[in-house]
Structure 1
Amino acid sequence: MWTFKQSHVAALQKAAESFKQKTGISVKVEAITPDDAFIARVQAAAQTRTMPDVLEVHTNGDDFTFGAAGLLEDLAGKTPWTDRYLPSVAGEGTVTDVYYKQSLEKGAKTAGIKLNQRFSVPLTIGTFGIVYANKERLTAAGVTQPPKTWEDFIGVLDAVRKARPNDGGVSIGFQSPTTGMEWLMQPMAYGKLGKAGFKGLFSNQRDQNWSSPNGRSVLEAYNQVTPYWMPGTQSLTIDDADIAFAQGKSSFDIGGTFTLAFLAQNGMNADNIVTFPVPAPRGGAVPDLSLAPFALTGLSVSATSGNKDGAIKWLDHLAQSDVATQFAKDALDVPPVNMGGDPGAALGPVLGAMIGSFGSGDSAYNPGDTTYRPPSYDAAVVARALMELTPLKKADVPTAGASLTKIIDGYWAGK
């Protein structure tokens, strides 16, 4: 088995030990990093017919690209265990109508995939919009409970900053500008306005978009974070921002469920972490705001594997509840398997709290839903305009709203 996630190797090796005891089949796990090197290795192996039996892949991404190239086994009808997964992710890795239509576009890397083919099953799931906080610093500032509203969140930021003026701030990887917009501002906006109101922000309707009262109210709320950004966070990469938190240079870090393992790799003690989802503003349209999970990585079987039966058994093994639970604790990553009503009991408070933030339906912010965006929407361009408001403080709320409106109107007009 090949993986591009070094943080998964030890956890997979432990799962392989129980798999061998159960089936007599040995699994050799090899990590190839970074992602570019992994892709290049797969491409080279495809040419020399030296593919591994199993690959860990980016779900609804590399699995479809590799599948389109004929490198992967079609798993449709061969994975009867998927009822163990959370319903919202049970079908991930399957070619839906949306992905099939995308494959027909000119230059698509997935050209050749067919509707309802399945090229992976979930291994890890997650979402954006998770706030990480230094537990010791929260306690020292008199904060004993995670904030339940946006206003409470701002209050917590203020309390910690007052207690620790030099390192009490928030870090995020603004070098990738979409992080601030999509990981922090958008979940808050969804909670404030609800599904219809949130989508209206990205419309060309002046009574709904960023120049409307709704748009200004969201920008004003988001701008409340401005005093609490870690100095220099506008120039940090995502990894740099996480490392700053792990090293104690910031007291809060904005990321996703996938951030936890990286923090641990960089020396952060998981017992000193409190996590909570970005909360909705008080009196918002979705007071019980939750986050919709999606598959992050999946497991695929090589089309040229000489041991397809064993490979599929390995996928089944990793979806066993006890195996998935142990993998999650060892890898500090969220499993797709349903953990029941008290995930904290099985996985501990940090992973349990993140799973507890998951939801579905209209009460859940779904970062994977981009249907409300205009054609040719460029998230980075829009997010850079938002950065003029915060953290750069070069624009006020009306100016930022007008700028966002102009950019998005241009997309709707096809310019």
Structure 2
Amino acid sequence: MEHSPAFRQGRRRLLAAAPAMALLAAGCGRSAGAGRDRLTMWTFKQSHVKALDAAAAAFTAQTGTKLAIQAITPDDAFLTKVQAAARTNDLPDVIEVHANGDDLSFGGAGLLEDLAGAVGRSWLDTYLPQVRKDGAVTAAQYRDSLTEGSKTMGVKEGQRFSVPLTVGTFGIVYADRRRLASAGVTEPPATWEQFIDTLAAVHRTDPKRGGITIGVQQPSTALEWLMQPMAFGMLGKERFQALFGSDPSKGFASADGQRVLTEYGRVTPYWMPGTAAKSIDDADLSFAQGKSAFLVGGTFTLAFLAANGADPANIMTFPVPPPARAAIPGMQLSPFALTGLSVTRTSRRKDEAMAWLRFLSKPDVAADFGRAALDVPPNLLTGADREAVGPLLTTMLDSFGTGENAYNAGDTTYRPSLYDPGKVGAVLAGYTPLKSTGARQTGNHISSMIKSYWAEQ
């Protein structure tokens, strides 16, 4: 499963240390937590601390167990802290982790408790169906762990090293509500054509700040966050996946591929100047500071925007829409776990740690956490709990779906194993926003690349 480039960059740093951490874990002697008067937890997300503190206060009032929550940022500092604590046997009781990433790495290295026996059906049923397996070792993940040099070496099929804390997906468009209203737009576009018309209308009212941006410096973003959701809706699952398949006649040089590229190219006039050189953070800041009217990101983008001055009340969000005559006109997005909660193997407070994980999985607690953190909780929320997360997160929850007609950004099984989205995205960026190639040349180039990936496989 693939997350955003920013998440993958952080995860690579974490996973690179897995073999070393396995050696550290093997030497563990005394248990962490000795002499502590409270449960301890580390997170790598500063935006979660306030929400976790509020949940901790409620947990303490209910159980009497006190908590100490610490944020270590950025990701590389978090990794350094985990490594140092593993050496001194001083890991906290609970760690927030990248789901399906460092949870498996840390688990395979022997740093985390296997939760499979403790997390039963009644617990998992509180989560959205799409994320109930996240944090557990699947058959495919176990096979991958056996590969020489694997960063998840040591895991076993069926083990569970985390439970979901936040979920989400790519393909979320953020728009400045007031600027849209000034252009006569009060409702989110339901089709790609309406989206292009909305871009044009806002751009006309404010040519300097009325465009759209995305972190194209990480070229996989525009490919995976904007073009691919639109293409999935346009073509349907089978024909969309064929674009990346081993048959070149069905790839991006085909009629389907050219339809996708041509339609996607309609966004070209509305890119903000300099978009091709912007990192993900640069693009997000551009929107937060009012320098662009539209931003493409993921559900996880909201907290960053709010932390950098954007007013959530002035934000309209909607999923990347499919064209009007799409194969899947009512396309939805399939969520996956972004972060999870793990219990360290050396904790002396495992019962209290598990009680804390279970407490955070309660729908009402998860809803309050999500609202405070501006992050989508993993729970199957209904009624008052669903309303409690607030209108923006509710809109994101409404965009989630399951089944064949839901676009799953985490599913990469249809692509060749050596496929490089960054390199393919760079070719797409030459088409738009850079305008150095046309749809035909771009399709031929991408099809040739995908053919070579399959041949190497």
Partners of 2:364 and 2:417 in 1: CA distance: 44
Partner amino acid, structure 2, of 1:301: V
Q: Deviations over 1:68-88 (max 9, x none)?
A: 110000000212322111111
Matching of residue 28 in structure 1 with residue 56 in structure 2:
no
Q: Deviations over 1:120-140 (max 9, x none)?
A: 000000000000000000111
Are 1:193 and 1:284, in contact at CA under 8 Å, matched by a contact in 2? yes
Partners of 2:394 and 2:412 in 1: CA distance: 28
C-alpha distance 164-343 of structure 1, shift in aligned 2 (>3 A): farther
Matching of residue 257 in structure 1 with residue 269 in structure 2:
no
Equivalent residue number for residue 95 of structure 2 = 55
Matching of residue 107 in structure 1 with residue 121 in structure 2:
no
Percent identity over paired residues: 56
Partner amino acid, structure 2, of 1:5: K
Deviation at 1:184?
A: 0.2
Equivalent residue number for residue 38 of structure 2 = none
Deviation at 1:339?
A: 1.2
TM-score (norm 2): 0.90
C-alpha distance 36-321 of structure 1, shift in aligned 2 (>3 A): same
Q: Deviations over 1:39-75 (max 9, x none)?
A: 1111110110000000000001000110011000000
Deviation at 1:206?
A: 3.5
Partners of 1:201 and 1:324 in 2: CA distance: 39
C-alpha distance 189-393 of structure 1, shift in aligned 2 (>3 A): same
Matching of residues 360-371 of structure 1 within 5 Å: 360-371=402-413
Are 1:344 and 1:351, in contact at CA under 8 Å, matched by a contact in 2? no
Q: Deviations over 1:153-195 (max 9, x none)?
A: 0000000000111100001001100000000000000000000
Partners of 2:227 and 2:81 in 1: CA distance: 38
Deviation at 1:344?
A: 5.8
C-alpha distance 394-107 of structure 1, shift in aligned 2 (>3 A): same
Match of 1:18 among 54, 58, 64: 58
Are 2:367 and 2:386, in contact at CA under 8 Å, matched by a contact in 1? no
Q: Deviations over 1:262-296 (max 9, x none)?
A: 00000000000000000011111000110000000
Deviation at 1:92?
A: 1.0
Equivalent residue number for residue 137 of structure 1 = 179
Matching of residue 161 in structure 1 with residue 198 in structure 2:
no
Equivalent residue number for residue 128 of structure 2 = 86
Matching of residue 223 in structure 1 with residue 265 in structure 2:
yes
Are 2:131 and 2:335, in contact at CA under 8 Å, matched by a contact in 1? yes
C-alpha distance 385-341 of structure 1, shift in aligned 2 (>3 A): farther
Equivalent residue number for residue 365 of structure 2 = 323
Deviation at 1:207?
A: 3.1
Q: Which range is displaced more, 374-383 or 128-137?
A: 374-383
Partners of 1:167 and 1:344 in 2: CA distance: 34
Partners of 2:217 and 2:385 in 1: CA distance: 34
Are 1:291 and 1:358, in contact at CA under 8 Å, matched by a contact in 2? yes
Deviation at 1:341?
A: 6.8
Are 2:248 and 2:451, in contact at CA under 8 Å, matched by a contact in 1? no
Tell me the secondary structure at the aligned position of residue 45 of structure 1: helix
Match of 1:68 among 101, 105, 108: 108
Matching of residues 176-191 of structure 1 within 5 Å: 176-191=218-233
Equivalent residue number for residue 41 of structure 1 = 81
Deviation at 1:375?
A: 2.7
Equivalent residue number for residue 281 of structure 1 = 323
Partners of 2:342 and 2:366 in 1: CA distance: 17
Tell me the secondary structure at the aligned position of residue 276 of structure 2: helix
Partners of 2:69 and 2:388 in 1: CA distance: 25
* 4+ runs deviating over 6 angstroms: none
Partner amino acid, structure 1, of 2:182: A
Tell me the secondary structure at the aligned position of residue 298 of structure 1: strand
Are 2:229 and 2:320, in contact at CA under 8 Å, matched by a contact in 1? yes
Equivalent residue number for residue 213 of structure 1 = 255
Are 2:364 and 2:385, in contact at CA under 8 Å, matched by a contact in 1? no
Partners of 2:283 and 2:325 in 1: CA distance: 31
Tell me the secondary structure at the aligned position of residue 171 of structure 2: strand
Partners of 1:293 and 1:342 in 2: CA distance: 22
C-alpha distance 342-201 of structure 1, shift in aligned 2 (>3 A): farther
Matching of residue 412 in structure 1 with residue 443 in structure 2:
no
Partner amino acid, structure 2, of 1:397: A
Gapped runs of 5+ residues in structure 1? Answer: none
Tell me the secondary structure at the aligned position of residue 13 of structure 1: helix
Are 1:343 and 1:352, in contact at CA under 8 Å, matched by a contact in 2? no
Deviation at 1:343?
A: 7.1
Partners of 1:197 and 1:286 in 2: CA distance: 12
Are 1:55 and 1:299, in contact at CA under 8 Å, matched by a contact in 2? yes
Deviation at 1:216?
A: 0.2
Tell me the secondary structure at the aligned position of residue 184 of structure 2: coil
Equivalent residue number for residue 49 of structure 2 = 9
